């Protein structure tokens, strides 16, 4: 049985999906960060393109509830009380105990800023023209059997400059705000069940941070070598980590790690 449903309601770019992802991370005992736990209607519509039949919103939600999670986040473009009423009628068929509607107060300017670079096509027309209604709890309760319904209000937070730029340039962001290179081996040792062991050779340190070089070529292809060295010294460090195996062998690896916040702050006057 699904005990709780969280419905996200707000303009594109308001921060709904970011909220869903962070909620899962903060409640990792209840959630696992994958698309089975965050029901993103837009993501599932993309998935439908590879299927022979187009799934309706009803199909997607029913598929989600069939997996029997205790809590579910429904993330999509739900703007009106009519939208919420349709959702609630579907959800109420699964004996849900409570519904929490998270509502982002409309802020067109910030949403337009946050929307830049998120997808191949922006959502500017929808952001500027759609009608976002505040949830009418009493009306919603009168239409469904679920009576434990509440609203949590949020203000739209403008995306940091570096993150907006990273998304605009399609940078692969990892660990919050970093760009990583491919890793290389620093060497290590192998073992067997007799207690024998031997050395594992390391690999040469790469002469360049290819992923960073490709990004800089897009952003500021005319920077000088001295400027590049300055950027590298301020934004890049080497991260090391060790991987072991069943028999006790281990190899140490390294990779370059670029702080994207520092990088885009340094490049502000060159973009």
Do 24 and 146 belong together in one domain? yes
Q: Which tokens in the block code for residue 194?
A: 């007799």
- Whether residue 163 lies inside any domain: the answer is no
CA 3 to centroid of chain Cα atoms:
25
Can you give the pLDDT at residue 213? 96
Question: In this predicted model, what pLDDT tens digit does every residue of 172-230 receive, in sequence order?
Answer: 899 889 999 999 999 999 998 887 889 999 999 999 999 999 999 999 999 999 999 99
Can you give the pLDDT at residue 37? 39
User: DSSP secondary structure string, 58-99?
Assistant: HHHHHHHHHT--SEEEEES---SHHHHHHHHHHHGGGT--EE
Residue 139, classified by CB atoms within 10 Å of its CB into exposed (0-12), middle (13-18) or buried (19+), is exposed
Do 131 and 263 belong together in one domain? no
Domain assignment of residue 116, given as a range: 4-158
Do 150 and 188 belong together in one domain? no
Question: In this predicted model, what pLDDT tens digit does every residue of 79-109 receive, in sequence order?
Answer: 999 999 888 888 888 778 889 999 999 999 9
- Whether residue 78 lies inside any domain: the answer is yes
- Whether residue 192 lies inside any domain: the answer is yes
- Whether residue 135 lies inside any domain: the answer is yes
Do 143 and 188 belong together in one domain? no
Q: Residue 258 in contact with residue 212, Cβ under 8 Å?
A: yes
Q: Coil, strand or helix: which one is 122?
A: coil
Residue 195 zone, left/alpha/beta (φ > 0; ψ -120 to 50; rest): left
- Please tell me the distance from the alpha carbon of residue 232 to that of residue 271, in angstroms, as a whole number: 17
Do 145 and 188 belong together in one domain? no
As a whole number of angstroms, the longest Cα–Cα distance in the chain is 73
Task: Among 137, 158, 179, give the residue marking a domain's end.
Answer: 158
Confidence of residue 60 (pLDDT cuts 50, 70, 90): low
Do 152 and 173 belong together in one domain? no
Do 208 and 118 belong together in one domain? no
Question: In this predicted model, what pLDDT tens digit does every residue of 30-40 receive, in sequence order?
Answer: 433 334 334 44
Do 144 and 193 belong together in one domain? no
Do 135 and 240 belong together in one domain? no
Task: Among 158, 189, 221, give the residue marking a domain's end.
Answer: 158
Q: Residue 130 in contact with residue 11, Cβ under 8 Å?
A: yes
- Whether residue 40 lies inside any domain: the answer is yes
Q: Where are the alpha helices (DSSP H) in 144-222?
A: 161-168, 210-219
- Whether residue 231 lies inside any domain: the answer is yes
Q: What's the pTM value of the predicted model, to 2 decimals?
A: 0.66
Residue 198, classified by CB atoms within 10 Å of its CB into exposed (0-12), middle (13-18) or buried (19+), is exposed
Do 213 and 185 belong together in one domain? yes
Do 248 and 125 belong together in one domain? no
- CATH number where 90 lies: 3.40.50.300
Percent of the chain at pLDDT > 70 equals 83
Question: Cα separations (Å) of 149 from 4, 11, 85, 161?
Answer: 10, 21, 12, 36
- Whether residue 144 lies inside any domain: the answer is yes
- Whether residue 87 lies inside any domain: the answer is yes
- Please tell me the distance from the alpha carbon of residue 124 to that of residue 115, in angstroms, as a whole number: 8
Task: Among 158, 193, 208, give the residue marking a domain's end.
Answer: 158
Measured from the Cβ of residue 18, the count of other Cβ atoms closer than 10 Å reads 13
Can you give the pLDDT at residue 96? 82
pLDDT for 28 beyond 70: no
Number of domains in the chain: 2
Do 67 and 141 belong together in one domain? yes
């Amino acid at each position: 049985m699904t005990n709780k449903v969280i419905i996200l309601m707000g303009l594109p770019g308001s921060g709904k999906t970011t909220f869903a992802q962070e909620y899962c991370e903060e409640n990792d005992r209840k959630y696992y960060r994958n698309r089975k736990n965050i029901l993103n209607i837009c993501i599932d519509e993309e998935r439908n393109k590879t299927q022979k039949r187009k799934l309706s919103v009803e199909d997607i939600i029913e598929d989600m509830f069939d997996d029997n999670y205790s809590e579910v986040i429904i993330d999509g473009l739900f703007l009106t009380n009519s939208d919420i009423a349709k959702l609630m009628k579907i959800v109420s068929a699964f004996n849900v105990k409570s519904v929490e509607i998270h509502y982002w107060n409309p802020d067109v300017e910030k949403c337009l800023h946050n929307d830049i670079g998120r997808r191949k096509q922006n959502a500017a027309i929808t952001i500027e023209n759609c009608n976002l209604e505040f949830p009418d709890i009493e009306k919603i309760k009168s239409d469904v059997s679920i009576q434990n319904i509440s609203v949590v209000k949020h203000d739209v937070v403008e995306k940091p400059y570096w993150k907006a730029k990273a998304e605009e340039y399609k940078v692969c962001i990892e660990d919050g705000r970093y760009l990583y290179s491919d890793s290389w081996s620093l060497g290590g040792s192998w073992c067997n069940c007799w207690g024998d062991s031997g050395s594992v050779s390391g690999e040469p340190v790469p002469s360049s941070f290819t992923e960073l070089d490709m990004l800089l070529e897009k952003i500021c292809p005319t920077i000088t070598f001295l400027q590049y060295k300055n950027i590298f010294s301020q934004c890049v460090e080497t991260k090391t980590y060790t991987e072991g195996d069943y028999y006790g062998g281990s190899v140490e690896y390294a990779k370059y790690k670029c702080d994207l916040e520092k990088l885009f702050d340094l490049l502000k006057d060159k973009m």
